[in-house]
Amino acid sequence: MTKVTVVGAGNVGATCADVLAYREIAEQIVLVDIKEGIAEGKALDIWQKAPINQYDSRTVGSTNDYSKTADSDVIVITSGLPRKPGMTRDDLIETNAGIVKSVTENVVKHSPNAIIIVVSNPLDVMTYQAHITSGFSRNKVIGMAGILDTARYRAFIAEELNVSSKEIQAILMGGHGDTMVPLPRYTTVAGIPVTELIGKEKLDAIIERTKFGGGELVKLMGTSAWYAPGSAAAQMVEAILKNQRRVFPVCIKLDGEYGIDDCYLGVPVILGKNGVEKVIELDLNDEEKSMLEVSRGHVKEVMNVLDKISSK
């Protein structure tokens, strides 16, 4: 039986579990949350619509009982708190790192062979936390950011050109957020370079909107996104469980690729049954290398904050 655990039954986690179920990506999905009854209720709700949407995947919920997650093939960690008024960046890192560390310890205890996908924010440094806590190889602890970022980018391009979003292929690299590295040279519309279809000024505007895509949604709704992030995490799970060997941008620890060591950044990889099967190294030009270095510096700075907190 294929089994996936989603830790955190908030909007993102519940959406991920729902997509996994109705697309029958896994035979069993376990939803875990610290709040009494939340995971059980949402898992039951997802299961009760199975006769309507015609799927057989079973969803079960658990309030902080990790024994139910035993022998999971993939673990998706969405746990964490949003930044609150008066909360510094360091406060947020310390709080969420503690949550991710505790969750990772619990899931690893019951599923020592699982692949871990981190969705919690700040994404890059939370992937770092899960990696060092689990002790797993780098290919088995990865962060979800690039699929979400490229989805936003592709959606905006499809809207601008009034074409199907299915026709857009793109890659973004670097950290999750405003230091992400767009790569218009590697963006195509049904194989046609996007630069032949959209002028530089308009394309730059689309790239800027993509960088601050999460913030745009927060301003509109007062909270962060969940449909797209939850679906992006589910797509990663599908690539792993079905050994699809799809090329996706994911956050992973770099060990010399792109001339970077010991930093967690989004890069294109081949995703399959072993997690990251291969890191793909693109031939970046000088401008792209410069942007990636800026992104690396930003992520490394946040990693250093976590190191200082952990050493206390």
The helix or strand, by DSSP H or E, that contains position 204, with its residue range, turns out to be helix 200-211
Give CA–CA dist 263/242, Å, rounded.
Answer: 28
Tokens for 266, please give them: 């989004």
Burial classification of residue 75, based on how many CB atoms lie within 10 Å of its CB (0-12 exposed, 13-18 middle, 19 or more buried): buried
How far is the C-alpha of 265 from the C-alpha of 259, rounded, in Å?
Answer: 12
Query: Which amino acid appears at position 98 of this protein?
Result: G
Structure tokens that stand for 260 in this block = 């970077």
Residue 197 burial (CB count, 10 A):
17
Q: Which residues are catalytic?
A: 176
**Cα–Cα distance, 312 to 303 (Å, whole number):** 15
Query: Hey, what are 59's tokens?
Result: 């969803």
* CA nearest to 22, candidates 278, 288, 234: 234
**Whole-Å CA distances, 273 to 69, 97, 140, 141, 312:** 19, 27, 10, 13, 38
Is 239 within 8 Å of 271 (Cβ atoms)? yes
Tokens at 43, concatenated? 């898992």
Residue 249 DSSP SS3: strand
C-alpha 179/C-alpha 212 separation (Å) is 10
